[in-house]
Amino acid sequence: LGSRRLNLEAPFSNTKPRPLFYYAVTDAVIGGLVTPMLMRARGFSRHYIDGLTYWYCSATCTPATGSPRTPLVFVHGVGIGPLPYLRFIGDLCSLDAPTI
């Protein structure tokens, strides 16, 4: 493999055009059914603020000092939402800190 000059040579592409129906169904099934079901099963609740949707899971207990834990904030990338990160999100929740 050689190096590619992205400003002069076309990048490799595996993309295929798909009909709008494909994206509508994918978004409805994954974003509307699967992700909410799996996030709720992990103890998260969905919240909305000014058009922004986020999931929140409170800590189950506080440390021995009685002071609240520092919350964890996870921001996923562009794509189908938090679904690909569910295992990682579950690991974050096991730290027993509020997770957003």
pLDDT in tens, 41-55: 888 899 999 988 888
pTM over 0.75: no
Residue 89 has a pLDDT of: 85
Residue 85 has a pLDDT of: 86
Q: What pLDDT tens digit does each residue of the chain (100 aa) get?
A: 566 665 666 666 667 788 999 888 888 888 888 889 988 988 889 999 998 888 888 876 445 556 667 788 888 877 777 888 888 888 887 777 788 7
Over its C-alpha atoms, the chain yields an Rg (Å, rounded) of: 19
Buried b (16+ CB within 10 A) or exposed e, 46-77: eeeeeeeeebebebeeeeeeeeebeeeeeeee
The one-letter amino acid code at 31 reads: G
